[in-house]
Amino acid sequence: MSLENLARRYGTPLYVYSGGHMLSRLGMFEIAFAAVPHLVCYAVKANSTLGILQLFARRGAGFDVVSGGELERVLAVDRRAVGRTVFSGIGKTAAEMDLALRAGILQFNVESEGELELLAERAAKLRKRARIALRVNPDVFAETHPYISTGMREHKFGIDIRRARAVYRRAGKHLDPSGVSVHIGSQIRSAEPFGAAAERVANLVVELRRDGHAIRYVDAGGGLGIEYDADKPFDAQEQVRRYASALVPVVRKLGGVTLLLEPGRFLVAQAGALLTRVLYVKKNGTKNFVIVDAAMNDLIRPALYQAHHQIVPVGPGRGKRTIVADVVGPVCETGDFFARDRKLPVVAPGELLAILDTGAYGMVLASNYNSRPRAAEVLVDGRGAHVIRRRETIADLLAAERRKMPRRAPR
């Protein structure tokens, strides 16, 4: 499909995704983990657009949700997929628990003793039995951005693995201790931390079984990273193979467990591009700026994480001439940038750029800052291009707001 044609047809900024790429990545997991019972639960927080959830649901994938809203999205796509859904997250409310209990999810990943108590109360009230896995904190360091590292004791996530047995003993008759869960962080590109965490979890499973708990699931979480710099080598299939090599032997030794995997970024990030038009090229002193029509409200990762995204011209280019420039958006913030001091081919107003690897944590983190409507999303597959989210309008933004306030009587 021609990205230029899609941009002309649907406007910019525009998110474009490859369905074939996403399913190819899912297939890598199915092949690499074929030796053990497993279920790939796509991490909905990476990209929660219904068209993408439907793509995975049709292939039999499960889902990992972290809010009632994400669970509602799974329900909207395929109610049968709820039985393949795990509910993670540290701040589940009573209403969210009730929704998940009534829907019949596969498992709650419980992150605190207070949550365990509330879930027991809600399950008793609804006369349900909730399958649970404590999300244990294995105190394993994973080299990644500090905002997305989650496996150390000082992080807000999980329960200290040393206290886990005592907490499991507190599970009442309305709770079924069915598994153990762990998630040490995101964008991890080494297999060793995953293996170290799995070994600690496996030791806990042995102890829990001795205590009489029928542990049937080991949830290894997600976090497998990608390479955002196109100049660096990255073999996705080899990355998954190494990941499986770290986990499969541990699970095999346990026997009688299904391995739950929660990839998100790895499945969708490199399947997406954010298309944006150049508005202006300007110079302030010695500094060059390429101003585009996308902004930090469309893709906040560079501002939030100082994340690197490759930016490439979509057209044939303007020869070999290059420029060193900041690529910035129209939002009234100095933090509204996609790249700083980036070497780029010379571009002119009206030309189309693609910001790569934006299929994850792009649209899902979008906002309406500066009253900017959110972009449209297009999914490309073997049957063509499909709009899976229409472009927002100003009318959409104003619809939920009260336009006229009642007049106060004069004092």
Catalytic residues: 332
The answer to whether the CB of 43 falls within 8 A of the CB of 150 is no
Backbone phi and psi for residue 407, each to the nearest 5 degrees, phi listed first: -75, 140
Backbone phi and psi for residue 277, each to the nearest 5 degrees, phi listed first: -95, 145
Q: Is the backbone of residue 212 left (phi > 0), alpha (psi -120 to 50) or beta?
A: left
Residue 300, CB half-sphere, CA atoms under 13 Å: how many?
Answer: 12
Whole-number Å distance between alpha carbons of 204 and 191: 20
The answer to whether the CB of 262 falls within 8 A of the CB of 219 is yes
3-class secondary-structure state, position 317: coil
Which residues lie closer than 8 Å to 64 by C-beta, 6 or more apart? 41, 42, 43, 44, 45, 85, 86, 88, 222, 262, 264
* CA distance from start to end of the chain: 65
The answer to whether the CB of 290 falls within 8 A of the CB of 312 is no
Question: What residues does 376 pair with on adjacent strands?
Answer: 14
319 token code pair: 């020869």
H helices then E strands: how many in the chain? 12, 18
Which residues lie closer than 8 Å to 399 by C-beta, 6 or more apart? none
